[in-house]
Structure 1
Amino acid sequence: MTLGVLWLVLTLLGVLQTQAQDSTLNLIPSPSLRKVPLQSDFQPAQFQGRWYVVGLAGNAVHKADEGRFLMYSTTYDLKEDGSYNVTSILFRDQRCDYWIRTFIPKSRPGQFSLGNIRSYPEIKSYTVRVTATDYNQFAMVFFRKTSGNKQYFKVTLYGRTKELPPEVKERFVSFAKSLGLTDDHIIFSVPIDQCIDN
């Protein structure tokens, strides 16, 4: 009987592993960068500063997470060489988590790659592209990374404040759908006060 139970457990584990693999294998393909706009006449100094993550859309984002997706902030600090020190502050497990990285400018203004990518051996490539911004109210930023043999992409809707007008959110949803995403891949964050205003 013990052998039978062990066999059943191993079979169930195999099924669960297969289902988990299937859910990541069915990613919506990342669009070509030709399909992703780039903010014309990008102004690095005007883009720097604190942004709140109001919305998120991506091929690994799930609508079921929407009510649990807490707002976080990301601050872009422009350096003399044109790169940004980028610090995100998240409230997790009743404490403030800091995630710091560097975005290095590429040949086109408004497009960046992840600095010191060798520190992330699982990531083969990482592209950041500012697709639209008015610098004072909102920004939409496209991220694409290749990890292993999978390509993930997302669009982040940033706000200088924690609330954005409905027309800005509608523009974000339309843009996400133009990249092949559906309503099931688009979520908005729950505004919070802990940590993210530091």
Structure 2
Amino acid sequence: MSQKVKVWDFAVRFFHWSQVLLLAGLWYTGEEGLMAQHQLLAYTLLALVVSRLVWGFVGSQTARFSQFAATPAAAVRYLRKPYAVNGHNPASFYMIVLLIVLVLVQLLTGLATFDNSYMSDGPLVSLLPASWVDMASDIHKININILLAAVAVHVVAALWHSMRVHNVLWVMLSGKDHAASTYTGGVKHSGVYFILFGLLLVVLYFWQGHKLLALL
């Protein structure tokens, strides 16, 4: 049996599980009308996602988008005959791209969403034409349902894959996996990711966060 090696750095694992919690919190606060809390969670998620995008180019091998980018044909072949992969498999590339795009659409439209309250309107509402604000608000309401559906598909696929093919949930928790013969990676220290994440949080706090904390 092959020995276990580190295949996921802490940055990737922190991003993955924090995003789960933040999306759940965003859904709940949105449903309950807790707009100050909702926007604070949204800014935290924005910092998290932007940091992950940067880490996708400068981070560990398994964190880099270039490492798991795949053609549609490769993704289909993998779905027909799945197997254990150290890192993201060819099919997961498309789900990851879809989720990141949907999350960014949700966050960006939220910045321009009108909420019938001056104190909880998105910060771009006063800067954009009313027609743009209406469109952003409509997209924000529709996109959340698409995002939740995509998340549900992702969760079901991850559970099925973990039970039938490869326990990816445990690997994402522990960061360790049995190394395949083709695995040549290693992980980088996650310090750069967290420095960037912290800097973005500071910027967003001074832009909007302190105003929202005052409403709590």
How does the TM-score come out when normalised to structure 1? 0.26
- Whose strand fraction is larger, Structure 1's or Structure 2's? 1
Give the structure, 1 or 2, with the largest relative contact order (CA under 8 Å, sep 6 or more): 2
- Whose helix fraction is larger, Structure 1's or Structure 2's? 2
How does the TM-score come out when normalised to structure 2? 0.24
